[in-house]
Amino acid sequence: MTKLLDLSFIRQQFPPFANPEFKGQAFFENAGGSFACKQVIDRLCTYYRETKVQPYYPYSASTKAGQAMDESYESFARYLNVKADEVFFGPSTSQNTYVLSQAMRGYLKAGDEIIVTNQDHEANSGAWRRLAEFGMVVKEWSVNRETGQLETEGLKELLSDKTKLVTFPHCSNIIGQINPVKEWTKLAHELGATVVADGVSYAGHGFPDIADLGVDIYVFSLYKTYGPHQGAMVVRENIMQNLKNQSHFFNDKELHKRLIPAGPDHAQVAAAHGVCQYFDAVYEHHFDADTARGPAVHDLFRTAEKARLAPLLDYLKDNPKLKVIGSTDSENRAPTIAIVAKKVSSPELVKRLVKHGIMSGYGHFYAARLIEAMGIDLEAGVARFSFVHYISDEDIQQLIEALEQEL
Ligand SMILES: Cc1ncc(COP(=O)(O)O)c(C=O)c1O
């Protein structure tokens, strides 16, 4: 039987819901950054209060600091179904992909082909495109201009025996489409290409099983998955040996430092484990011990989100006062909904919604190439309403009523 999310339990895990500052307001900018769960906030505070020293030395505070960081690598590995040595925490996804692109210069040669998309956030696009400066051939897999979707045929047309790298989003931060990562990865792997998937817009809706997806590199941002402001990435063992050390020369053998030239933010790395503690608490509250933890939490979140997404899409899809950017079918779609209103600009709409207690955002959200491809004005962009599992039916109703008055 499908388990239903206990929303009151969930909200107790997020301090903003008890904060008078947020009373009466409904939060629809989660694709920009989610609330942090209390487990993360507690760990961050504990780190600063009790173990704010250089980690991994033999004195007590330092040992504890190192242990707190190690817990994060280990718990993320469990939820993502990879090894702890394959998990990395860096300053942000944009920084992580930039570093990765430099690390890949070690094995890509002039003439090698790289496939990028124009559906991606620029973080998983620009860094790869810049490799053209070193002679690599960059090919763009372009979206269908009407739907904003990437079609498999487009990838097949671009793949060749020269393709060495294929990059795409797991989910678009504008059209919300959940892409068939497994199928695309298989196509790329048949030609021996490495696959990088941007999971930033997906992971907040439930952590994926990375081994099952099959990708070589998966990147996402912890501040959109209830955590601190860090980027997480999984780099599978098979690809690691191809990546050039990007840290100081003497750190070449220090696995967790090789791809983090900024140096780790110890407290935030330690706090990251709080995200998994939150998932553990959700799991223990809802399930019996014999259910697989990762998939159970993932599906619980997804079911709750879909139940709230359907009525919102129903309201939006036949509304003559606006256009939904992307699919209006709640299947295969994250609750990240972009619209363009016919009579009100996106900035003006978002501003007007504030008096109805709606927290939302507007713009191109750094997916400027997608916005342009779909013929949308880049400056005004779209108004975006994005939510995660902690949003209630009442929040959805509040948004619908606000839109009803302001469109
Ligand atoms: C889909 C997607 N990819 C990448 C990023 C970049 O993440 P970061 O802010 O951690 O660099 C974002 C940020 O909004 C995003 O939405």
CA of 61 to the centre of ligand 1 (A): 34
Output the pLDDT for position 104: 95
Reported as a single tens digit per residue, the pLDDT across 350-395 is 999 999 999 999 999 999 999 999 999 999 999 999 999 999 999 9
Is the pLDDT at 10 greater than 70? The verdict is yes
Determine whether the shortest distance from the Cβ of 224 to ligand 1 is under 6 A: no
**pLDDT band per the 50, 70, 90 thresholds, residue 1:** low
**pLDDT band per the 50, 70, 90 thresholds, residue 291:** confident
- Ligand 1 atom with minimal separation from the 366 CA: 14
What are the sequence ranges of the domains in the chain? 7-35+293-406, 42-276
Q: What residue's CA is closest to ligand 1, atom 7?
A: 93
pTM value > 0.85: yes
Q: What residue's CA is closest to ligand 1, atom 14?
A: 32
**Taking the domain 42-276, which CATH number applies?**
3.40.640.10
CA of 230 to the centre of ligand 1 (A): 11
Is the pLDDT at 2 greater than 80? The verdict is no
Percent of all residues in the chain with a pLDDT value above 90, rounded to a whole number: 94
Over range 78-94, report the average pLDDT. Answer: 97
- Ligand 1 atom with minimal separation from the 171 CA: 1
Give the mean pLDDT of the chain: 96
CA of 97 to the centre of ligand 1 (A): 10
Architecture of domain 7-35+293-406: Alpha-Beta Complex (3.90)
Output the pLDDT for position 256: 86
Residue type, 318: D
Is the pLDDT at 209 greater than 80? The verdict is yes
Determine whether the shortest distance from the Cβ of 121 to ligand 1 is under 6 A: yes
Output the pLDDT for position 330: 87
To test the ligand 1 pocket, which listed residue (220, 366, 382) has its Cβ within 8 A of the most ligand atoms? 366
Is the pLDDT at 118 greater than 90? The verdict is yes
Is the pLDDT at 189 greater than 90? The verdict is yes
Reported as a single tens digit per residue, the pLDDT across 395-407 is 999 999 999 999 9
Is the pLDDT at 292 greater than 90? The verdict is no
